[in-house]
């Protein structure tokens, strides 16, 4: 039945589904970086990487994308 429902309504974008969770983790990471708590910042980045999320630090802030597994 799930497949039939997906066929009727379409599949949701993976990024849309996980974005709220990733954004919370990135907020924690940004706070840790601001506090110069680089161990926590690295731990959050590593946890996201283990979950298949690539995090990039850019001049305009953090960016992320799901990594194709």
Is the pLDDT reported for residue 16 higher than 70? yes
Q: Is 13 a member of any domain?
A: no
Q: What local confidence, expressed as pLDDT, does residue 68 receive? A: 79
The total of structural domains in the chain comes to 1
Q: Is 14 a member of any domain?
A: no
Helix (H) or strand (E) holding 65: strand 61-66
Q: Is 4 a member of any domain?
A: no
Q: Is 9 a member of any domain?
A: no
d(CA 56, CA 51): 15
Q: Is 41 a member of any domain?
A: yes
Q: Is 11 a member of any domain?
A: no
Q: Rounded mean pLDDT of 34-52?
A: 97
The pLDDT > 70 percentage for the chain reads 83
Tokens of 25: 């983790």
Q: Is 5 a member of any domain?
A: no
User: Which residue segment(s) compose the domain that 36 sits in?
Assistant: 24-64
This model's pTM is above 0.75: yes
Q: Is 46 a member of any domain?
A: yes
| Confidence class for position 4, pLDDT limits 50, 70, 90 | low
């Amino acid at each position: 039945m799930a497949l039939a429902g997906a066929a009727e309504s379409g599949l949701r974008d993976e990024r849309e589904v996980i974005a709220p969770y990733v954004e919370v983790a990135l907020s924690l990471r940004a706070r840790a970086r601001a506090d110069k708590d680089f161990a926590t910042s690295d731990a959050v980045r590593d946890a996201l990487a283990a979950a298949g999320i690539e995090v990039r630090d850019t001049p305009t802030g953090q960016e992320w994308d799901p990594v194709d597994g």
